[in-house]
Amino acid sequence: MSGQTNLAVQLSISAVNKRFASTGEVLSDIDVDVPGGQFITLLGPSGCGKSTFLRLLAGLESPDTGRLRFDGRGPASRDSLGYVFQEPRLLPWRTAAANIALPLEIEGVARENHAQLVNDALKLVRLEAFAKSFPDELSGGMRMRVSVARALVTSPRLLLLDEPFGALDEMSRQDLNDELMRLWLERHWTAVFVTHNVFEAVYLSQRVLIMSAKPGRIVADIEVPFDYPREAQLRARPEFAAAVGRVMERLTDAT
Ligand SMILES: Nc1ncnc2c1ncn2[C@@H]1O[C@H](COP(=O)(O)OP(=O)(O)OP(=O)(O)O)[C@@H](O)[C@H]1O
Ligand SMILES: [Mg+2]
């Protein structure tokens, strides 16, 4: 583990409830503790409140009751947080590099540091050669990598990922899973990853939380026993299939 582990945000979520006037109770009695540097995945049926949960963590919504603590304190500051959305959400008139620079502009990071930080972020996602490309000159997988670089450019201590690879084909998804794991092993932020995909959940994470729908509750908290770095071949091994099977069973119970 890298020396950065102690910088990762520790999350403590207790008795959180959230309802919307139009849709009723969405999250019910959510209790989760996440040690700094852990990679957890939230898995659950469509509409169970996964994105709402991430939005609460990001401070974009507030809970009706209960509390969210980051390192024992109130909300995480914006610059310690990275958010990767389901779609890349890149500005089409900006190059890859200029898209990645956006959070630096928003955070007011000194201009003279932008080029270096953007370069580092491009390197992390192996897109140095595409700094000057526009989004429509990139493949779907490359656009997603730009979006990951944009989330990482401020060196977040907590990374929230909302079904980031859901729109990609299986091969691109697996490649990006491997890249994400490499980045996490290097940087060791705390990661909260949302997906529908059980294979991806088991492959990436140390821990899978399963949510039920209507209202969203955490109904299972499953440790994934494999060491890191996990190699692509792990996906073909019987113990991987067995772990996927265990998660699937719990997910089926939840839905
Ligand atoms: N701002 C809002 N106002 C009213 N209802 C909302 C709002 N945001 C979410 N909801 C409702 O909360 C529920 C959970 O939505 P959410 O987007 O968190 O689900 P999800 O698990 O991310 O689903 P998916 O897997 O399809 O992305 C849904 O019923 C949705 O309609
Ligand atoms: Mg969602």
Quote the number of domains for the chain. 2
For residues 62 and 186, membership in a common domain is answered with yes
**255 pLDDT band (50/70/90 cuts)?**
confident
Domain that holds residue 108: 88-156
For residues 48 and 133, membership in a common domain is answered with no
Mean per-residue pLDDT for 37-48?
94
Does ligand 1 lie within 6 Å of residue 215's CB atom?
A: no
- pLDDT exceeds cutoff 80 at 216: yes
Which residues have CB less than 5 Å away from ligand 2 (the ion)? 51
For residues 41 and 165, membership in a common domain is answered with yes
Q: What is the dihedral angle through the alpha carbons of 135, 136, 140, 143, rounded to the nearest 10 degrees?
A: 0
**How many A from CA of 194 to the centre of ligand 2?**
8
DSSP 44: -
Question: In the prediction, which pLDDT does 6 show?
Answer: 55
Tens of pLDDT, residue by residue over 88-125, are: 999 999 999 999 999 999 999 999 999 999 999 999 88
Does ligand 1 lie within 6 Å of residue 46's CB atom?
A: yes
Mean per-residue pLDDT for 34-38?
96
For residues 165 and 228, membership in a common domain is answered with yes
- pLDDT exceeds cutoff 70 at 5: no
State CA 22 to chain mean position distance: 27
Residue 33 lies in a domain: yes
Atom number of ligand 1 nearest to Cα 53: 18
- Claim: this prediction has a pTM higher than 0.85: yes
Does ligand 1 lie within 6 Å of residue 24's CB atom?
A: no
Ligand nearest to the CA of 255: 1
Task: Say which CATH number the domain at 202 has.
Answer: 3.40.50.300
Residue 104 lies in a domain: yes
For residues 17 and 32, membership in a common domain is answered with yes
- The better pLDDT of the pair 45, 2 is held by 45
For residues 224 and 151, membership in a common domain is answered with no
Q: Whose CA is nearest to atom 18 of ligand 1?
A: 49
For residues 128 and 68, membership in a common domain is answered with no
Ligand nearest to the CA of 20: 1
For residues 166 and 243, membership in a common domain is answered with yes
Does ligand 1 lie within 6 Å of residue 43's CB atom?
A: no
Give me the percent of the chain exceeding a pLDDT of 70.
97
Last residue of a domain, one of 115, 132, 156: 156
Residue 81 lies in a domain: no
For residues 140 and 181, membership in a common domain is answered with no
Contact by Cβ (8 Å): 190, 38 = yes
Q: How many helices (H) and strands (E) does the chain have?
A: 7, 9
